[in-house]
């Protein structure tokens, strides 16, 4: 269920044009990656820095976001994040 929820968040972001996503969901079990359930540990900050630095040092890249208000709905909130459900959601 955890990784299905990760996929749900990634679909919501990428479908609206947010393409600079650092998926660190598979690294949480490494020593010192997480300090607790919501705070990065020092290894987590190193990984985050590795993803942030290229984003900050590359030239400006114009973005084209497509905000979809359906992601604010109860339907999305309550959607079980199966592959089929995510593919069908508009």
> pLDDT per position in the chain (90 positions), as tens?
899 999 999 999 999 999 889 999 999 899 999 998 899 999 999 999 999 999 889 888 888 899 999 999 999 999 999 999 999 998
What is the pLDDT at residue 32?
Answer: 95
What is the pLDDT at residue 60?
Answer: 82
**Whole-structure pTM value:** 0.80
Q: For residue 12, give every residue at least 6 positions away whose Cβ sits within 8 Å of its Cβ, in sequence order, or none.
A: 71, 76
What is the pLDDT at residue 62?
Answer: 86
Locate the domains of the chain by residue range: 2-88
């Amino acid at each position: 269920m955890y990784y299905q929820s990760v996929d749900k968040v990634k679909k919501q972001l990428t479908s609206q044009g947010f393409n600079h996503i650092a998926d660190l969901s598979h690294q949480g079990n490494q020593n010192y990656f997480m300090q607790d359930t919501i705070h990065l540990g020092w290894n987590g900050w190193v990984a985050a820095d590795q993803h942030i630095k290229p984003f900050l040092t590359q030239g400006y890249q114009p973005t084209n976001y497509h905000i979809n208000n359906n992601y604010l709905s109860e339907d999305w909130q309550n959607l079980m994040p199966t592959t089929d459900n995510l593919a069908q959601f508009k």
